[in-house]
Amino acid sequence: MLKQILKELAPTQTTLVAVSKTKPVSRIQQMYEEGQRIFGENRVQELVEKEAVLPKDIEWHQIGHLQTNKVKYIAPFVSLIHAVDSLKLLKEINKQAAKNERIIDCLLQFHIAEESSKFGFDEAEMKEVLNSSDFKNLANIRIVGVMGMATFTSDEEQVALEFRYLKDIFDRLKNSFFSSQDSFKEVSMGMSGDYQLAIAEGSTMVRIGSLLFGSR
C-alpha cells in the first residue's frame, strides 16, 4: 500500500505523513525499512515511547491536539507540530524549544469543518495573534504553514469547499505575513478518506493512517 500511495503522490509532490497512532513499533519499523521516514502520532506519551526505540532519522510529527503541559516531552526531538491552535501553545513551544536550543517548526490549525468539536483558529483570531508583539518575540518557533480537518461527511463537494477555504487562508497569510519567508509553504490537509480531494485543492502534506496500516 505504501508504494501505491507514494506513486500516486509523486507527480503532485505531496509529502506523506504516515499516521502510525495505535500501531505497534514493529509495523513502523517495517514501513521504515520500505523507505518511509515521516511518521505522525497524536498522543504525546505514545510518541515519546516510540521515538525512544525506533531509528533516529525518523521525522516525528505531532498531528493531533497538543496540551500545553505536554510540550516539554516532545520538544527535544519533534520535527513538526501540526495542530497549533492558540498563542498560549505557541509560547510554550517556544519556551521548550529554547530550553532544547532548537527552533521547532509549527503549522497553524484552522477550524474549517462544520463540527464545532474540531479545534483551530479562525482567520480573524489568527491575524490578531500574528500582529501581536507577543508573537513577534517568539524566536524559537518557525511557522511553516497551515493545517485543517474537513467535516466527516460523504458530501465530497462540502469537503472540497472546506479544503479550498483552507488553501485560500494559506494564500492570504502568505501574502500578508509570510511573503518573504520561503519556508512558509505547507498546507497539511487530507486523510485516508479525503486525501485525493485535498490534493486537488492544493494540499502539500497528507496525513494518512488507516489506508496504510489498516483500520484502528
User: What is the phi/psi pair of residue 14, to 5°?
Assistant: -85, 140
Residue 192 makes contact with ligand PLP by CB under 6 A: yes
Of the candidates 9, 21, 27, 129, which one interacts with ligand PLP according to CB under 6 A?
21
Q: In the bound complex, which residue of the shown chain has the CB atom lying closest to ligand PLP?
A: 209
Site size for ligand PLP (CB under 6 A) = 13
Give, as ranges, the residues between 56 and 115 that touch ligand PLP (CB under 6 A): 63-64
Whole-angstrom distance, CA of residue 204 vs CA of residue 17: 11
- The neighbour count for residue 149, using CB atoms within 10 Å, is 27
Asked if residue 205 lies in contact with residue 20, where contact means CB atoms within 8 angstroms, the answer is: no
Stretch that binds ligand PLP, among 4-12, 113-121, 175-183, 207-215 (CB under 6 A): 207-215
Q: How far is the CB of 195 from ligand PLP (least distance, A)?
A: 8
Give the residues across from 205 on adjacent strands: 15, 188
Asked if residue 203 lies in contact with residue 159, where contact means CB atoms within 8 angstroms, the answer is: no
Give, as ranges, the residues between 40 and 59 that touch ligand PLP (CB under 6 A): 42
Task: Give residues in contact with ligand PLP (CB under 6 A).
Answer: 19, 21, 42, 63-64, 191-193, 207-211
